[in-house]
Structure formats: structure tokens, C-alpha cells
Amino acid sequence: MKKLLILSVACFLFAGSQLSFAQTKTKTPVVSSSATIQNSPKEKTMQIVNMLERTNKLNEGQKKDVYQIYYSLERKMKGVDAIKDASEKNAKRAKMQEYINSKLKDVLNEEQYDIYLKNTVAK
């Protein structure tokens, strides 16, 4: 009887230890609510090109021009991200977005540009 009691206690301890280790924590990056994750110019370009290709065909020249617009601004965007003052950073980002929009308006036709605006404003 004593051996049976010790065996059942040992089984409960073993089962309890297995349950406590069954759900290990995953290592996910912690991002505070004040931090924002910015897409790299390459990722942003790919998102826009893919979105336009799904909705309206882009020709190879237009793809190349869209890539060139974003790659030419990569350094400037990194400089804007380095600004400490939030209001100044937001003002510079808005100015850069206006510049990007004006360049894309020159590259894309009206229908493509409207689709671009609808999808980027919705995000």
C-alpha cells in the first residue's frame, strides 16, 4: 500500500512537471507602443509594385521607375528617421510622401495612381 501511494505521488509530480514545461514562451521581439516599425525602401517598393500588379498591370518601365523613386530616397528617409523631434520628423515625412506621390503621379497613369492613393490612404 505504501509503495502504491509513493508511486502515485511520483506520477502526479511527473505529470505536473510536464504540464509546467509544456507551454514554453516563444521569443518574439518586444515593440513598445511608442515605437513604429518602418518598412525598408525595398519592402515598400515591393508592396506598391505588387499591389499595382494585382489591380492594374504595370509595364516593365513603370516598375523600374517605381523602384528608382524609392531607392533614390533611401538615404533621405534614414536621415528623417534619425530626427529626434517628433513634430519635425512628421513634417519631414509628410513632405517626403508628397514628393513620392508627385513622382509616382508622373510615372503611373491616372487609373494606377488612383488605385495607389486608395490603397495607401487606407493603411
pTM of the predicted model, to two decimals? Answer: 0.56
Per-residue pLDDT, 40: 66
CA distances to 24, 80, 121 from 108, rounded to whole Å, are: 50, 26, 17
Which residues, other chains included, contact 116 with Cβ-Cβ below 8 Å and sequence gap of 6+? 48, 51, 52, 104, 108
Query: How does pLDDT run along the chain (123 residues), one tens digit per residue?
Result: 888 888 888 777 777 766 665 555 555 554 443 333 456 667 777 887 787 777 767 788 888 888 888 888 887 877 887 888 888 888 888 888 888 889 988 988 888 888 888 877 655
DSSP 8-state class, residue 39: P
The burial of 103, by beta-carbon neighbours within 10 Å (0-12 exposed, 13-18 middle, 19 or more buried), is given as middle
29/52 Cα distance (integer angstroms): 31
